[in-house]
Amino acid sequence: MKILFYSCHAIWYEHLSILLDEAICRQKEGHEVYFVYNSCALGICTGNLSQDSYVCAQCCTWMHSALRLLPKSIHTINISEFWQNKKFTFQYESAQDIKRIEYRNVKVGYAVLSSYITKTRNLYPEINKESRAYFDKIINATCNLTDALDRVIDSIQPDRMCFFNARFFEWRPPYDLAVSKGIEAVSYEKTPYVNGVRTVRFVNTTPHNIEGLQAKRDELWANSQLTEDEKIAIGEDFFLRRRNGADAGDKIYISNQTKGKMPDDWDDNKKNIVIFNSSEDEFAAIGDEFDSLALFPTQYRGIKFILESLKDKQDYHVYLRIHPNLSKVPYRYHTELLNLPKQYSNITVIPGGDSISTYDLMDAAEKVVVFGSTMGLEAAYWNKPVILLAGANYYNSDLCYVPHSEDELTELLKSSLRPKKNASAIKWGFYMMYRNPDDKWKYVPPTAEIFSIGRFKWYVVHALKLFGSSKLYAILSHYRLWYSRHHSTRIDVPMKEDVTAEL
């Protein structure tokens, strides 16, 4: 089998290391392996949206060093050999217009916005002369990459294409091209969890596809050699760890919260509905699947609808727990939530950084409303009725009530709901916590550390070595780049929000 690996850059060393490791594994299985890499042909990437020349120099240095880890029997190809700088022109006046941009079956607009929003957290960038030039550059880079990869595919005729993530603009073209050409597509993702990074492979789907994620969850559960009781114990441990602020493979968000602390106006005599919103930027521009599953175009509009539906019900009160990850976001999709009590008397807004306990709120709620947050999964596990209003990895797991119209939502808000069965939640907990030992790296470690001598610090990627020492390599490579660091150029990423965009 001919297998083509594509790596865009070396900035995210874990991504590159996993692809290198997998390429070596496939070569040792007897496959004909091609490793296509980018040596600054794009000129911009998600890891370097400001086009810092020092970062580019460091990336190229790491990439060329890392390629030496591959056996000589693996064909290495610089994408620049197939690169042609063409000028592409697309018309757009808003972020929504950018989403619609496609080129040769590649969802260019979604990929570009996904990269931009991930780095800036600005859902609604103002499209002006400055930002248009910036987005044009990324859109052009993505289209040129699409053409270059298409030429590579025609040249190699691979049976399988392998790449990372498939979400950002430098990763989306290989996935969409493979799908459109009927080539098996393998999208890799790294999954951090309590015992270290593991590799997850998604065949003919992406790490963000809801059906693909559920299939991966079910596959892991079915194929595990553990007993049923052992799997259940691991799955339940995920929820216990999250509740107790222990490592469960994600950032710990409750470290500053006070157990037992509730809002001053909490009234047990009322029907209290707690909304756990999500970091909306984390779901924005993932793809049209998530857009199509959302009951409302935005979370702000959904929350306002709930408040309008209940405003004449004096026995109801709504508590909005803003996601802690939003606490420092300056854009309106966050800040306008803080102003809702000025418009409605039936809501209490709890800021993201507040010390009120998320889990005590959940326990005391009559029902929970979420827009895809992991708290929806957790609340379902802890036997709370949950209403889900948007796409989530657990969307099809029958853990939540999923209204498909505003009338259905209104009925659910005013009805007495029973919790759904939580067996499916335990499977998700197992998926989050357990990884097969065989998914660990075999040849190229995806690990790094910060090494310091006095006031000097070096970023040490363990896979890259000089005379057998990764620390010596780090010192020498950083020393070689020292001059460029003090003479580097960069551009400003446009951050201005479109204040006319409807929330």
Task: Pick the closest to residue 422 from 403, 401, 397, 402 (CA basis).
Answer: 397
pLDDT tens digit string along 347-384? 999 999 999 999 999 999 999 999 999 999 999 999 99
Residue 265 within any structural domain of the chain: yes
pLDDT at 80: 94
* CA 472/CA 330 separation, integer angstroms: 42
Query: Within this chain, do residues 204 and 275 fall inside the same structural domain, yes or no?
Result: no
**What's the confidence (pLDDT) of residue 459?**
79
Print the domain residue range for 402: 251-422
Contacts of 47 (CB under 8 A, 6+ apart): 9, 11, 12, 55, 59
For the chain, the distance separating the N- and C-terminal CA atoms, rounded to the nearest angstrom, is 49
Confidence of residue 480 (pLDDT cuts 50, 70, 90): low
Count of the separate structural domains present in the chain: 2
Whether 31 contacts 38, CB under 8 Å:
no
What length does the chain have?
503
Measured distance CA(11)–CA(461) in Å, rounded:
11
Strands 196-203 and 184-193: antiparallel
d(CA 377, CA 304): 23
166 in the same domain as 303: no
Residue 357 lies in a domain: yes
Q: How far apart are CA 145 and CA 167, in angstroms?
A: 15
Q: Is residue 17 part of a domain?
A: yes
What band does 331 get if pLDDT is binned at 50, 70 and 90?
very high
Q: How confident is the model at residue 281 (pLDDT cuts 50, 70, 90)?
A: confident
205 and 256 both lie in a single domain? no
Q: Quick check: is 146 in a domain?
A: yes
Same domain, 37 and 182: yes
The rounded distance, in Å, linking the Cα atoms of 293 and 455 is 51
pLDDT at 484 over 70: no
CATH number (domain holding residue 291): 3.40.50.2000
pLDDT at 481: 61
Q: Average pLDDT of 320-329?
A: 95
The 10s digit of each residue's pLDDT in 139-153 is 999 999 999 999 999
Q: Do residue 80 and residue 26 come from a single domain?
A: yes
pTM (two decimals)? 0.93
Number of Cβ atoms within 10 Å of the Cβ of 354 = 18
Same domain, 201 and 273: no
User: Among the three residues 163, 195, 211, which one is the final residue of a domain in this structure?
Assistant: 211
Return the DSSP state at 116. H
Average pLDDT, the chain: 92
Domain boundary among 422, 448, 469: 422
Residue 467 located in a structural domain: no
Written as six digits, the tokens of 419 are: 């919790």
31 plus 170 within the same structural domain: yes
Q: What is the pLDDT of residues 397-451, one digit of tens each?
A: 999 999 999 999 999 999 999 999 999 999 999 998 887 777 888 999 988 888 8
Q: What is the CATH number of the domain that holds 116?
A: 3.40.50
Please tell me whether residues 161 and 71 are part of one structural domain: yes
Domain shared by 171 and 256, yes or no: no
Higher pLDDT, 440 or 240: 240
In a domain, 330, yes or no: yes
Lowest pLDDT segment from 16-30, 225-239, 455-469: 455-469
For a pLDDT cut of 70, what percent of the chain falls above it? Answer: 97
Statement to judge: residues 99 and 190 lie in one domain: yes
Q: Which single residue is written with the structure tokens 């857009």?
A: 291
Instruction: Select from 81, 358, 449, 425 the least CA-distant residue to 221.
Output: 425
Distances in Å between the Cα of 266 and the Cα atoms of 274, 276, 360 are 11, 16, 12
Q: Is residue 491 one of the residues assigned to a domain?
A: no
Instruction: Order the strands of the 347-350 sheet from edge to edge.
Output: 347-350, 316-321, 271-276, 367-370, 386-388
- For residue 32, being part of any structural domain is answered with yes
The whole-number average pLDDT for the span 270-281 is: 94
Say yes or no: 164 and 305 in one domain: no
